[in-house]
Amino acid sequence: MKMLKPLVPLFLLIITSYVTAQNPICPPGVYIADPSAHVWTDGKLYVYGSRDESPDYYCSYDHWVLATNNLSDWEITKDAFASRGSKDQVSYSDAPLYAPDCQYFNGNYYLYYCLAGGADIEGYAVSASPTGPFINGKPIKVGGYNQIDPAVFIDDDGQGYYIWGQFEAKIAKLKPGMTEIDESTIKVGVVNEKEHFFHEGGYMVKRNGIYYFIYTDISRANRATSIGYAMSDSPMGPFRYGGVIVDNDHCDPETWNNHGSIAEFKGKWYIFYHRSTHGSKMMRKACIEPIAFREDGTIPEVEMTSQGAGEALDAFAEIEAERACLLFGNVRIAGFGSQNEALIKINNDDAACYKYINFGTGASSVLIKASPGPKPVRIELALGQSWGQSLGSIEIPGNGDGTKVLEYRFPVRKIAGIHALWLRFYGDNNQIFCVDSFHFEK
């Protein structure tokens, strides 16, 4: 069973060489959603987001920050900002904190936050450090449009723009201090549900003279599982719809929304988004995928993967079960013991997929770490974008209570190269059975 090192009493918790895979970029037990990614003057990439703490409600009362030099090793700064408790920096409210954004201006970092309720939903706090602590939260007046999900974009000429809202995005110019909106410039519906499938979660970047409005897209099945985008020659629009960049459908049986950003890091572009866990709309975890641009500036859709920004997963190293990028049926990723996650509540004919796994010159057996329940389960393994070439099956005896992790080794059909791997489960609806990890052997 995988375990993180015990937490040390430091403001900064650093997790080094945390995993060889990249998705999710949050470690077990940490749920950071709505990722807004920025590269600051120190060359590091920072991710700001809301922090989920319960499958019963969205978000929490504090923000943590993720940071990296290489997209592989991630630092986590806890308690970068809080709306209640011992580190409270919002004197006028104790409401939960929804999705934030951050911008660097004139030597300081400005965290733009929003509250779950109250008269002054939008606000800002300031720090000399990109990881906070952000202090002295103060409200931002938004012309009566009190809505969630702020984002701030600074154009090449230094002009700042404030973006926020649901169903129809609002945008306005910021005054020179970056803390007040010029209410005379507010434009409502710059991106909207009817023309652009906009739901919430706006974010803006500029590339090669094109302004990209990134947002939660509700174009598929009337569910906000996609990150979409629109393009314009001006930050105030008009914007033309571009399409979907990534869709988190089937990351969890109850997934509902998505929220993200795109950023360039060391010459390559990436999309940051989140996936739900725990069979809920909440408990979301930030993820990353590389993206590309066509000659005309449009962005091809990318798939969810287990490898994220890294290479294909090494088949011969331990692969944590929560790296699954697609889930079908009742199975979901959830906490399993202390600081650990697994595939749990597995029913008959459920399936999980891992994209992609590098089998090198060949693997001939698999070792699975699982927690058996009182009834037997058969696991079938196969390769392909959909259920394809069979690798064999594993019989897990029904001799446990779902709490103790045991090892099971079985031969598989020899396979080499890089493939998507599927695990499909057969047996009674045995929700006690869990899969913790697996690896292949030569």
Q: For residue 165, what pLDDT is reported? A: 96
Would residue 296 count as lying in a domain? Answer: no
Question: pLDDT digit string (tens) for 415-432?
Answer: 999 999 999 999 988 678
Question: pLDDT digit string (tens) for 177-203?
Answer: 999 999 999 999 999 999 999 999 999
Co-location of 285 and 321 in the same domain? no
Co-location of 236 and 325 in the same domain? no
Q: For residue 399, what pLDDT is reported? A: 83
Q: Please classify residue 316 by burial: count the beta carbons closer than 10 Å to its beta carbon, then call 0-12 exposed, 13-18 middle and 19+ buried.
A: middle
Q: What are residue 154's DSSP bridge partners?
A: 160
Co-location of 330 and 268 in the same domain? no
pLDDT, averaged in runs of 10, over the chain (442 residues): 36 38 88 98 97 96 97 94 96 97 97 91 97 97 94 97 97 97 97 97 98 98 96 98 98 97 98 97 97 98 96 96 97 89 95 97 95 93 88 90 91 95 90 92 92
- 399 secondary structure, DSSP code: -
Q: For residue 114, what pLDDT is reported? A: 97
Co-location of 60 and 192 in the same domain? yes
Co-location of 284 and 408 in the same domain? no
Q: For residue 336, what pLDDT is reported? A: 87
- The reply to whether omega before 161 is within 30° of 0 (cis) is no
Q: For residue 12, what pLDDT is reported? A: 39
Q: What is the pTM of this model?
A: 0.93
Q: Tell me how far apart the alpha carbons of residues 210 and 45 are, in angstroms, rounded to a whole number.
A: 22
Q: For residue 22, what pLDDT is reported? A: 82
- 323 secondary structure, DSSP code: G
Q: Final residue of a domain: which of 254, 274, 291?
A: 291
Co-location of 271 and 381 in the same domain? no
Count the domains in the chain: 2
Q: For residue 146, what pLDDT is reported? A: 92
CATH code (residue 42): 2.115.10.20
Would residue 300 count as lying in a domain? Answer: no
Range(s) of the domain holding residue 385: 316-441
Structure-block tokens of residue 72: 């592989």
